Amino acid sequence: MNTEVEVNPYELLDVKVESTEQEIRTAYRKRSLKVHPDRNPNNADAARKFHELNQAYELLLDPLRRLALDAKLRLKQARAERFKSYDNKRKNMVEELEAREREFKKRKEEQEKEEIRRWHETEEIKDQGRKLREEKERDLRQREEKKRQAAEEAQEDDLAAPSLGSMDTTVRLKYNLKSHPELTTVESIAKVLAPFGQTDDDSIVLSLKSSKKAANKPPKFGTALVPFKQIGNAFAAVCASGRPERGLDGIEIDWVGGKEPPILIWLSLIRHPLNHFSERHPIV
């Protein structure tokens, strides 16, 4: 059963979130007797209701799937309560950001599918790796050239520092739940990133997903959008992506927009160390 749909398994079985396994079994027996197709031969919708009831029952008896459901329900409730306090302008901004995030995920999924298709067609893994390295090296050279040109233009035009964008302190985490089964709550995500600085825990967005081929199985991957209080702390977390000695083995961290915020590029152009800038000019 997909926990993303409107139907709440707890509501289907008429039980509470804190109900025990025995209470869930008892509620299932009572409900199943009422909606069983054999007891409702004239109700064309009885089979569907009985199927949904069984799916809800199986989900709530699976500890991992129930844990994922509880986390999503808590997140949904917390987000709904926060959203009530937003004014219309803030709501529009959140909706726009969410739309951009969905579009970004869609483009990324399409890009990954295209890469997989090409990989299967060519069956030349070594050649693909070589091409990927060359592409990264070319991209790096292009970025360095752009930085050099931007630095020259900044000196000539006396450019001012860019303003801090609304998403410039937010990073994206991606990890495999098999390697990190503990990262299933907002609190656990905040704890992992605590060594790098203070995060806005109330604004952390956590998503646990199963593979498309096994949608009914426990989630395999986790992603999270985490806003830091300061951009310097977010930068430190991105730099430590995947490093075991920083407690991030198997955890990919990147900027939510897929590239460095303009303020960091500007800082590198004027050769101003980020840690020194953060000490003298905190960016909240």
Q: What are the tens digits of pLDDT across the range 141-192? A: 999 999 888 777 766 555 567 888 888 999 999 999 988 999 999 999 999 9
Alpha helix segments (H runs only) across the chain: 9-13, 21-35, 46-61, 63-84, 88-122, 125-157, 186-193, 231-239, 262-269, 274-280
Give the pLDDT of residue 263: 83
Of residues 176, 157, 195, the one with CA closest to residue 249: 176
Residue 83 clears pLDDT 80, i.e. is over it: no
Q: For residues 31 and 33, give the distance between their C-alpha atoms in angstroms, rounded to a whole number.
A: 5
Predicted TM-score (pTM) of this structure: 0.40
Give the pLDDT of residue 272: 55
Q: For residues 111 and 113, give the distance between their C-alpha atoms in angstroms, rounded to a whole number.
A: 5
Mean of pLDDT values over 260-284: 63
Which one-letter amino acid corresponds to residue 137?
Answer: E
Q: pLDDT class for 20, splitting at 50, 70, 90?
A: very high
Mean pLDDT of the chain: 85
Give the pLDDT of residue 166: 84
CA distances from 166 to 1, 140, 229, 257 (A): 36, 26, 12, 11
- Given a contact cutoff of 8 angstroms between Cβ atoms, the answer to whether 14 and 24 are in contact is no
Residue 4 clears pLDDT 50, i.e. is over it: no
Residue 274 clears pLDDT 70, i.e. is over it: no
Q: Which of 1-10, 70-79, 101-110 has the lowest mean pLDDT?
A: 1-10
Give the pLDDT of residue 9: 94
Give the pLDDT of residue 171: 96
